[in-house]
Amino acid sequence: MKGIIASPGVAIASAFVMKQTVVEIDMTPTANETERAEQEQLFRDAIAATEQQLNEVIEITEQRLSAKEADVFRAHLMMLFDPTFEDAVMEKINGSAMKAARAVKEATVEVADMLASLDDEYLRERAADIRDVGGRVLDNVTGNVRVSLNDLRDEVVVFANDLTPSDTAMMDMNYVKGFVTEVGGRTSHTSIIARIMGLPAIVGTGDILSHVKHGDTVVLDAVDGDIVINPTAEELAAAEAKLEKYLEHVRELDAVKMLPAETKDGHHVEVVGNIASPADCKGVLENGGEGVGLFRTEFLYMKSPELPSEEVQFEAYKTAAEALEGRPLVIRTLDIGGDKAADCISFPAEMNPFLGWRAVRMYFDRLDIIKPQMRALLRAAAYGNILVMFPMIISAEEIFKMKEIIEECKAELRAEGKEFNENMPIGTMVETPAACINADKLAQIVDFFSIGTNDLTQYVLAVDRGNEAIAAMYQPLHPAVLRAMKMVIDASHKEGKWTGVCGELAGDERGAVILLGLGLDEFSMSAGSIPTIKNLIRRANVARVREVVEECLTYFTTEEVTARIDKLIEEIYA
Query: Which residues are at the interface with ligand PEP (CB under 6 A)?
Result: 294, 296, 335, 431, 452-455, 502-503
Q: Which is nearer to Mg ion, 39 or 526 (CB)?
A: 526
Taking CA atoms, 498 is separated from 115, 223, 333, 491, in Å, by 47, 36, 19, 9
Q: Which is nearer to Mg ion, 290 or 335 (CB)?
A: 335
Residue 249 known to be catalytic: no
The answer to whether the beta carbons of residues 388 and 380 sit under 8 Å apart is no
CB atoms within 10 A of CB 63: 9
- Please, what is the minimum distance in Å from the beta carbon of residue 431 to ligand PEP? 5
- Please, what is the minimum distance in Å from the beta carbon of residue 300 to ligand PEP? 14
Please report whether residue 455 would count as binding Mg ion according to CB under 5 A: yes
Q: Which of 281, 409, 436, 502 is catalytic?
A: 502
Residue 200 touches which member of Mg ion, ligand PEP, none, C-beta under 5-8 Å by kind: none
Taking CA atoms, 467 is separated from 18, 293, 353, 428, in Å, by 41, 27, 14, 27
Beta-bridged to residue 220, according to DSSP, are 11, 227
- Please, what is the minimum distance in Å from the beta carbon of residue 297 to ligand PEP? 10
The shares of helix, strand and coil residues in the chain, as percent rounded to the nearest 5, are 55, 15, 35
- Please, what is the minimum distance in Å from the beta carbon of residue 486 to ligand PEP? 17
Q: Which is nearer to Mg ion, 458 or 529 (CB)?
A: 458
Which of the residues 435 through 454 are near Mg ion (CB under 5 A)?
452
The answer to whether the beta carbons of residues 486 and 518 sit under 8 Å apart is yes
Q: Which is nearer to ligand PEP, 125 or 504 (CB)?
A: 504
CA 270 to chain centre: 21
Q: Which is nearer to ligand PEP, 178 or 507 (CB)?
A: 507
- DSSP, collapsed to helix, strand or coil, labels residue 480 as helix
Taking CA atoms, 460 is separated from 130, 242, 401, 559, in Å, by 46, 40, 25, 18
- What angle do the packed helices 530-539 and 233-256 form, to 10 degrees? 80
Residue nearest to Mg ion (CB): 455
- Please, what is the minimum distance in Å from the beta carbon of residue 550 to ligand PEP? 24
Residue 500 touches which member of Mg ion, ligand PEP, none, C-beta under 5-8 Å by kind: none
Residue 502 touches which member of ligand PEP, Mg ion, none, C-beta under 5-8 Å by kind: ligand PEP
How many residues touch Mg ion (CB under 5 A)?
Answer: 2
Q: Which is nearer to Mg ion, 320 or 456 (CB)?
A: 456
Q: Which is nearer to Mg ion, 6 or 456 (CB)?
A: 456
Q: Which of 76, 189, 409, 552 is catalytic?
A: 189
Rounded to a whole number, what is the distance in angstroms from the first to the last CA of the chain? 32
- DSSP, collapsed to helix, strand or coil, labels residue 227 as strand
Q: In what order do the strands lie in the sheet with 226-229?
A: 4-7, 201-203, 176-181, 156-160, 10-18, 217-221, 226-229
> CA 443, CA 494: separation in Å to the nearest integer?
8
Residue 107 touches which member of Mg ion, ligand PEP, none, C-beta under 5-8 Å by kind: none
Residue 503 touches which member of ligand PEP, Mg ion, none, C-beta under 5-8 Å by kind: ligand PEP
Q: 3-state secondary structure string, 250-262? A: HHHHHHHCCCCCE
Q: Where are the beta strands (DSSP E) in 251-364?
A: 270-275, 292-296, 328-332
Q: Which is nearer to ligand PEP, 421 or 454 (CB)?
A: 454
Which of 292, 289, 290 shows the shortest CA–CA distance to 277? 292
- Please, what is the minimum distance in Å from the beta carbon of residue 238 to ligand PEP? 38
Residue 522 touches which member of Mg ion, ligand PEP, none, C-beta under 5-8 Å by kind: none
571 CB contacts (<8 Å, ≥6 apart)?
544
Residue 327 touches which member of Mg ion, ligand PEP, none, C-beta under 5-8 Å by kind: none
Beta-bridged to residue 16, according to DSSP, are 158
Residue 189 known to be catalytic: yes
- Please, what is the minimum distance in Å from the beta carbon of residue 501 to ligand PEP? 8
DSSP 337: B
Amino acid identity, position 7: S
Taking CA atoms, 519 is separated from 227, 510, 557, in Å, by 42, 15, 22
The answer to whether the beta carbons of residues 114 and 24 sit under 8 Å apart is no
Q: 3-state secondary structure string, 4-47? A: EEEECCEEEEEEEEECCCCCCCCCCCCCCHHHHHHHHHHHHHHH
> CA 361, CA 459: separation in Å to the nearest integer?
16
Per-residue contact track with Mg ion, 401 to 440, x per CB under 5 A?
----------------------------------------
- Please, what is the minimum distance in Å from the beta carbon of residue 340 to Mg ion? 9
- Please, what is the minimum distance in Å from the beta carbon of residue 490 to Mg ion? 22
Residue 308 touches which member of Mg ion, ligand PEP, none, C-beta under 5-8 Å by kind: none
Q: Which is nearer to Mg ion, 452 or 511 (CB)?
A: 452
Q: Which is nearer to ligand PEP, 53 or 432 (CB)?
A: 432
- DSSP, collapsed to helix, strand or coil, labels residue 461 as helix
- Please, what is the minimum distance in Å from the beta carbon of residue 454 to ligand PEP? 3
Where does this chain bind Mg ion (CB under 5 A)? 452, 455
Enumerate the active-site residues.
189, 502
